[in-house]
Chains A and B, each alone.
Chain A
Amino acid sequence: MRMKINAYASPWCMSAFLLLVLLGLILLGLSIGDNGLTLQQSVWAVFGAGDTFAVFLIQELRLPRIIAAILSGAALAVAGCLLQTLARNRLATPNVIGLDNGATAFAVASIVAVPVSLATPVLALTGAATAAALAFGLSAGSGARGYRFIIMGIGVGAVFGALTNFMLARTDMDSANSAYPWTVGSLNARPEEAIYWLGCALILSVPFAVYVARSLNTMRLSDAVAIGLGASIRQTRWLTLIVVVLLTGFSVALAGPIGIIALAAPEAARSMSSANRVPVLSAGLVGSCLMLLADTIGQYAFSPIEVPVGLITAIVGGPYLIWILLRQPQQSTL
């Protein structure tokens, strides 16, 4: 009979802990602010009980936004965790190698420039896929490893960033305004259908993410060791890239380029778990918590002004990144 060993129970404890934190943040997000609702009333309103105003406020305004934060945070963090591990480099997150910028450029184009009837999420996904194909194609031969592909990705990202700015500068004020959230990262003006797209993408890809994490884990040792331990390198690489592009594209369509989550959440998850695993699920949970926390702060800390979540994460995440790099200068590789 196979039974679990104690040393391996800790990931479940950690997940439970993170879920509790997330639940606390959800309750906070539901009840915070000067709307006159108590915590109890807010929770009841989630299930449709209470007066019409409360139900409208919670079900139509707050809950969708909380769900959007949870989904986009999880997606960005899982994508970041996978790509960092594949590239064996902490810096190799989707936003650093230009996927966010590619998705943003295409999303903005769908609003200001191109008269296409395609939905924004589909275009954002196309953008992320294009950026990924360019970054990997131009660094052909060196594979998903080493600095060459990261530097190539930074270049691709810069081109797409410039393209976005160019489109915004050329367009009229109204279109530029409606495209603005995608350039800073905000959960305020999210397109309705983007939540469903991202939800479906997460449900589809998280099992694959957990599956490839096992092979990715052995690939950290070296490709030859991974093959010796039964991993399929090519299959793992392709699956990882597909999942990363899918999650990044759809989360950018929902929330804009909030790349710092992809950098910080896996880092935090790794520091909480043992070095012998790729903490995909905990990274996702941490990502959800960070995103929700940042969005709540952005909404209420400076009220009546609302600060976009992308600015909050950048203000907090920037110094955090510097701290990580200062703390472990020799540990930029994974």
Chain B
Amino acid sequence: MTFFNSSLAHTLTPASLVAEQLSLGYGEQLIIDQLSLEIPEQKITAIIGPNGCGKSTLLSGLARVLKPKAGQVLLNGKSIHLQSNRKVAQLLALLPQEAHAPDGLTVTELVRFGRQPHQGFLQQWGYEDEAIVQDAIRLANLEALAGRALNSISGGQRQRAWLAMTVAQSTPLLLLDEPTSVLDLGHQIEVFEIISQLAKAGKTIVMVVHDIMSACRYADHIVALKQGAIIAEGAPKDIITSDLIRQLYGVDCHIMEDPHNGSLLLTGAMRSSR
């Protein structure tokens, strides 16, 4: 991979992301209550849990999209809400679930948005910016589609284009909200492989993932969330047990090792009789 020598990786200095007694919610409703979490640097962290457990809310809180009701998020030791938005955007990129592109916007034009936090009011677009954009497009396997309009390519390709935009932001931290939720198996694996490459190049990645087997296969660190609280945290092989699955999803299953890649497999899943 040429990527490892490219302009995407060489400027990355790791940044720390920590939640301290974080409480998040919408209106009167409290979804996450006094949660503390330290994101392991230069690793892939997957947040898993049942629907409505607060996974996306937690990610929004970590990415400063949602203002905390109490507690704080520390980026490099300082409260993220007290730092300038643009400075934070140079350290932390976010791919939210809901995003739509204006009509006629091409793949390259979308990816160029990623350079926005690095450009000042009067600062011109430079060769370095363009090189980073091209690297991000290459990494996402979109060279052939670079000039195409986003609404004319497939869902999997579009998701890769959005991912490329966050990559072009060249931040040490990357937060992804269900990056593969609408994709078929092949495109899911493609996106996860890109994410793995990014982690190998030194990025710290936090992603909300629905599919627990994908989380086990691609994440180094898993945070299991239930009703807004962390009930287990650690490496997949240390924490994923049939007990935890029952607690999280109300599902009985057996857990075995994938004979081909050593990852974890869930078999014989059925609704818990309890």
Contacts and interface: CB of A to CB of B under 8 A. Distances in A.
Interface in B176-196: none
Nearest to A227: B65
B125 A224 contact: no
Given A4-B125, A211-B121, A221-B113, A228 B106 contact: no
A276 B119 CA distance: 15
Nearest to A228: B94
A331 B103 contact: yes
Task: Give the bracket for the number of chain A residues in contact with chain B.
Answer: 20 to 34
B99 interface: yes
Contacts of A5: 125-127, 130
Contact of A229 (B60, B116, B128): B116
Contacts of A8: 124-125
A230 B90 contact: yes
Contacts of A221: 99-102, 113
Contacts of B94: 224-225, 227-228
B89 A222 contact: no
Given A2-B124, A3-B126, A225 B109 contact: no
A214 B118 CA distance: 12
Contact of B166 (A214, A228, A274): A228
Contacts of A130: none
B112 A222 contact: no
Nearest to A220: B102
A123 interface: no
A231 interface: yes
Contacts of A93: none
Interface in B109-158: 109-110, 112-114, 116-117, 121, 123-128, 130
B217 to A, nearest CB: 26
Contacts of A118: none
B169 interface: yes
A15 interface: no
B63 interface: yes
A238 to B, nearest CB: 15
Nearest to A223: B65
A81 to B, nearest CB: 14
Interface string B76-87: 000000000111
A331 B151 CA distance: 12
B126 A2 contact: yes
A229 B89 contact: yes
Given A4-B124, A4-B125, A5-B127, A227 B85 contact: yes
B105 interface: yes
A119 interface: no
A138 interface: no
Interface in A200-250: 211, 214, 217-218, 220-225, 227-232
The main secondary structure of chain A at its interface with chain B is loop
Nearest to A330: B103
A230 B85 contact: yes
B89 A224 contact: no
A34 B46 CA distance: 78
A217 B63 CA distance: 20
A169 interface: no
Contact of A232 (B85, B102, B166): B85
Contacts of B95: 228
A208 to B, nearest CB: 11
Given A221-B101, A222-B96, A275-B104, A229 B90 contact: no
Contacts of B166: 228
B103 A222 contact: no
A334 interface: yes
B109 A276 contact: yes
A224 B98 CA distance: 8
A218 B124 contact: no
A223 B94 CA distance: 11
Contacts of A334: 102-103
A276 B106 CA distance: 8
Contact of A222 (B64, B90, B98, B169): B98
A73 B130 CA distance: 36
Which has the most chain A C-beta neighbours within 10 Å: B94, B113, B127?
A: B113
Given A224-B60, A227-B64, A230-B117, A3 B105 contact: no
B85 to A, nearest CB: 5
B96 A224 contact: yes
A215 B249 CA distance: 41
Contacts of A328: 103
13 contacts: A3-B127, A4-B124, A8-B124, A214-B121, A217-B113, A224-B94, A225-B113, A227-B63, A228-B93, A230-B86, A275-B102, A275-B109, A276-B105
Given A5-B125, A225-B113, 8 more contacts: A2-B126, A4-B124, A222-B98, A222-B100, A227-B63, A228-B166, A229-B117, A334-B102
Interface of B: 60, 63-65, 85-90, 92-96, 98-106, 109-110, 112-114, 116-117, 121, 123-128, 130, 166, 169
A-B pairs with the 6 shortest C-beta distances?
Answer: A230-B89, A228-B94, A2-B126, A224-B96, A276-B109, A230-B86
Interface of A: 1-5, 8, 211, 214, 217-218, 220-225, 227-232, 274-276, 328, 331, 334
